Amino acid sequence: MNTEAIERPLPKPTVEDYVSARLLEALVEGGLALRFLNEGLVRDAVGRAFQAWRALLAALLRLELDKLVRVARTEEERSWLMNRAVPRVPTTRMKALSQLLEEIGYAGGIYFATSTALELHDYQYNGPDPDLALSKFRDRQEAATAVVNLIKELANRIENLKQRMKWSDELENALNELRRGGIK
């Protein structure tokens, strides 16, 4: 697994390579999530799955920035998208950003997958919760299943981007490695 890929500094969000770097980060983090699951480290796996999804959102936001700026309702929102949303993808705004992506054509549940990622994020900090007060997962198995499903969605969405961008051997290898890790 190319874990050094997530340690490299990110290119500037204005650079075309930013999308590739964030997709590679998403694939590597997804692979780490699966590895941690196999080792029984569910809360660590959950954290990696969340980071993988967040990296994918960053890539999609940068890839679609021109469209997103056009649908922004105010100049302040346009400025925020360009200067804050793309480089940082604030956790508190992930649902709203997912809604914007759906608005410009990313149908098929990106909003719901983001909701799952955020529920996993809560689980990472609160652990299982039989009462469902602090976490939406009653036990480790429910969270582990959500991780696998989120990583499947992530891999499929990244696979669908192949024709839209410059696709490197490094991305192809990372995607294949993720698929070999149990994601079909």
Distance CA 25, CA 38 (A): 20
pLDDT digits (tens, 9 = 90+) for 41-74: 999 999 999 999 999 999 999 999 999 999 888 9
Overall fold of domain 13-180? Four Helix Bundle (Hemerythrin (Met), subunit A) (1.20.120)
What pLDDT is stored for residue 184 in this prediction? 61
Lowest mean pLDDT among 25-39, 82-96, 135-149: 82-96
Global confidence as pTM = 0.91
So where are the chain's domains?
13-180
**DSSP annotation of 12:** P
The answer to whether 45 touches 36, Cβ cutoff 8 Å, is yes
